[in-house]
């Protein structure tokens, strides 16, 4: 390691005589518009301005140029052998293309600081004026300088007018955007058009990174993998139906650690695309290599809507379900994959899901969550109750507290549904099976893999708990019911206006409307 230089800043190793100053040298510079050569760039700039009318300071103001714009300008002139008059008369920066960052020959113009050049050209100058009999006589140089100043101010005025017009247009666009949000749906501006964001594929990737980053942590993958109901169901659906998987091309959408990809490879898949935008994909690569399945499984980092696969697939397997089934909006990506990546007659795993409601009579949980605010260390905080119930809760509900039969409010066929499936209204009837107080409605979902060997699982309160738990819609006031009563109402589910992956749920029951959000 003795050949490695010591870069330490320790004073005792510092030797002032080890540093040598570079001598300043002047390199001849050729004019951009003729063959004249000058000893330095300053004199060349003066020559270009006086002889050819090429004024860098005016161009800098006119086009709001920085050092990169300057480099592009020089390379543009060298490439196209432009004349100064065309450059100065241009109404837009003709050189505004990344390709002009590539140097053209050993051009000494590019070795100088554009800012210092323009600063020199703006150095204040002093002129004397003769005044006789009320008549002011200016020198030619003074007159030319005034003309230049007027031209510069005129360009600044034009630029200000342009910026003002752009600001007006931006304000108009903002008004349209705000109106769109109020009417329904968030918006994105793309070019000159306003795009209503009503599904995940329309969300710019940079605006969606927060969602994927939430899956980059160990904890969430531990929760999912240790959920035996979830993981064993996928394993059974794949490995008990090897005849449906063998020699097929599979897409594991949102692969996470790659467990479903490895199930598919073990079942005999010819090729598996394991795709995920989250950084967990890098761990999946290691896991797949560790299990010697890299020849079958190809990992792909990216959001499907922004990624092109090498080929279409025969099977799409995805664990896309969120709280209350539809939260997180990943169903949008499955539908996109189905429409753009799946071969005709292909298989979706799972292929069907439904959402159900059931009445909850857990008064202790209600007191803990709602009545808590009536007396907080001796102070009343009742105003918080409405805010608390507005947010849907996610928790495990004991079957002992269920006081009604369940009712399916939405059945989803993944082969035919569209991204608008999130927006629905359904009526429901819940027959009461025991006396009690309705404190909330509980939402859950069932999932089906309808293959030759059918597999299904439920996230309901009567089944083994899963990491999805149940979604609770609490009411501020409890409602007493008797066995034999039938609760009737409607539920309306829709995308949140401000978060395409979030949900708004409106429940009309007991003569009142109750609004909830999942976000």
SS3 per-residue string spanning 398-461: CHHHECECCEEEEEEECCCCCHHHHCEEEEEEEEECCCEEEEEEEEEEEEEECCCCCEEEECCC
Query: Mapped to the 3 state alphabet, what secondary structure does 144-167 carry?
Result: HHHHHHHHHHHHHHHHHHHHHHHH
CA distance 285 to 266: 16
| Cross-sheet strand order for the sheet of 503-509 | 424-431, 486-495, 503-509, 512-518
Residues whose CB falls within 8 Å of the CB of residue 327, separated by 6 or more in sequence, listed in order: 471, 501, 502, 503, 518
Q: How far is CA 18 from the centre of its chain?
A: 51
CA 195 to chain centre: 15
Query: Where do runs of H (alpha helix) occur along 53-196?
Result: 56-63, 67-80, 84-89, 114-121, 140-183
Query: Token pair for residue 146?
Result: 């005034």
340: enclosing H helix or E strand: helix 331-341
- List Cα–Cα distances, 256 to 177, 239, 503, in angstroms: 35, 19, 24
Q: What's CA 17's distance to the chain center, in Å?
A: 54
132 is catalytic: no
Give this prediction's pTM: 0.63
d(CA 373, CA 460): 29
Contact 65/73 with Cβ under 8 angstroms?
A: yes
Q: Can you read off the two tokens belonging to residue 296? A: 């079958």
| pLDDT < 70: residue spans in the chain | 1-26, 106, 111-113, 115-129, 173, 176-217
Q: Which two tokens stand for residue 32?
A: 């951009």
CA Rg value for the chain? 35
Element (H, E) at 131: strand 130-132
Q: Strands (DSSP E) along 293-341, which ranges?
A: 297-301, 313-317
How many CB atoms are located within 10 Å of the residue 96 CB? Answer: 14
CA of residue 287 relative to chain centroid, distance: 27
- The pLDDT of residue 438: 96
- 328 assigned to active site: yes
Q: Which of 206, 319, 371, 427 is catalytic?
A: 319
**Do the beta carbons of residue 503 and residue 517 sit within 8 Å?**
yes
Which entry of 328, 371, 427, 488 is annotated as an active-site residue? 328
Q: How high is the pLDDT of residue 392?
A: 92
Q: Which residues pair with 447 in a beta bridge?
A: 353, 457
- Rounded CA-CA distance 319/330 in Å is 9
Q: What is the pLDDT of residue 6?
A: 45
């Amino acid at each position: 390691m003795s050949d490695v230089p010591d870069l330490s800043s320790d004073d005792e190793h510092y030797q002032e005589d080890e540093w040598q100053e570079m001598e300043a040298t002047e390199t001849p510079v050729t004019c951009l518009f003729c063959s004249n050569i000058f000893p330095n760039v300053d004199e060349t700039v003066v020559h270009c301005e006086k002889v050819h009318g090429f004024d860098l300071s005016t161009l800098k103001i006119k086009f709001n140029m920085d050092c990169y714009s300057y480099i592009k300008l020089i390379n543009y002139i060298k490439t196209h052998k432009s004349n100064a008059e065309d450059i100065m008369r241009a109404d837009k920066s003709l050189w505004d293309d990344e390709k002009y960052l590539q140097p053209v020959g050993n051009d000494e113009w590019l070795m100088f600081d554009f800012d210092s050049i323009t600063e020199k050209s703006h150095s204040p100058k002093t002129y004397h004026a003769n005044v006789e009999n009320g008549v002011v006589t200016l020198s030619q140089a003074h007159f030319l300088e005034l003309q230049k100043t007027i031209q510069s101010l005129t360009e600044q005025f034009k630029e200000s007018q342009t910026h003002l017009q752009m600001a007006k247009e931006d304000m108009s666009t903002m008004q349209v955007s705000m109106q769109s949000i109020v009417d329904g749906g968030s918006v994105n501006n793309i070019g000159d058009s306003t795009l209503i964001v009503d599904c995940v594929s329309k969300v710019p990737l940079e605006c969606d990174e927060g969602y994927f980053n939430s899956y980059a942590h160990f904890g969430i993958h531990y929760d999912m993998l240790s959920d035996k109901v979830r993981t064993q169901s996928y394993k059974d659906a794949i490995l008990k139906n090897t005849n449906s998987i063998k020699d097929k091309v599979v897409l594991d959408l949102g692969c996470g650690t790659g467990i479903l990809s490895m199930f598919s490879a073990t079942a005999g898949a010819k090729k598996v695309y394991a795709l995920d935008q989250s950084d967990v994909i890098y761990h999946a690569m290691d896991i797949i290599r560790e299990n010697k399945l890299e020849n079958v499984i190809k990992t792909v980092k990216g959001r499907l809507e922004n990624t092109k696969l090498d080929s279409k697939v025969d099977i799409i397997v995805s664990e896309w379900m969120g709280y209350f089934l539809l939260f997180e909006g990943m169903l949008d990506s499955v539908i996109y994959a189905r429409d753009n990546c799946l071969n005709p007659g292909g298989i979706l795993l799972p292929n069907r899901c439904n959402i159900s409601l059931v009445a909850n009579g857990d008064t202790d949980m209600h007191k803990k969550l709602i009545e808590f605010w009536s007396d907080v260390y001796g102070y009343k905080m009742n105003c918080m109750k409405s805010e608390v119930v507005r947010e849907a809760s996610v928790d495990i509900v004991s079957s002992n507290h269920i006081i009604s039969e369940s009712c399916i409010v939405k059945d989803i066929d993944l082969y035919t549904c569209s991204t608008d499936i999130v927006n629905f209204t359904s009526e429901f009837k819940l027959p009461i099976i025991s006396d009690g107080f309705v404190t909330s409605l509980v939402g859950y979902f069932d999932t089906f893999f309808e293959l030759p060997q059918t597999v299904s699982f439920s996230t309901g309160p009567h089944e083994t708990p899963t990491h999805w738990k149940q979604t609770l819609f609490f009411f501020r006031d409890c409602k007493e019911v008797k066995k034999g009563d039938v609760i009737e109402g409607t539920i309306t589910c829709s995308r949140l206006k401000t978060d395409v992956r979030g949900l708004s749920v409106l429940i009309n029951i007991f003569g009142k409307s109750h609004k909830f959000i999942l976000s």
